[in-house]
Amino acid sequence: MPIYQYAADGPGCATCRNGIEVLQRLSDPALTRCPDCTTPVHRVVSAPQVISGQAHRSNESHIGKHGFTQYRRAGKGVYEKTVGKGPDFISGD
């Protein structure tokens, strides 16, 4: 379900004055009024956020190849290096 953005056509209330975001189904009709103060509103066209493939995932080989270091929690206050350069362990002590 997409999140639609709406802007008030008048002064509006605290809810719609700076715009509102509503989670709606594609089949739901567009809002025509603010749900709190009944000020007329219109839908604002905005850019979608699209994630394709596995590009949004970071794997250890990709992190190390680009010069970053990754640590994982090994215990209370202790972190163990999984990939990259740097000390093998980091401790909060």
Extents of the domains making up the chain: 1-46, 60-91
73's tokens = 């929690």
On whether the pTM is more than 0.75, the answer is no
State residue 56's pLDDT score: 55
User: Which pLDDT tens digit goes with each residue over 32-83?
Assistant: 999 899 999 999 988 877 767 766 566 777 788 888 888 888 888 899 998 8
What is residue 47's DSSP assignment? -
Cβ-proximal residues to 63 (8 Å cutoff; 6+ apart), any chain? 69, 70, 83, 84
State residue 62's pLDDT score: 77
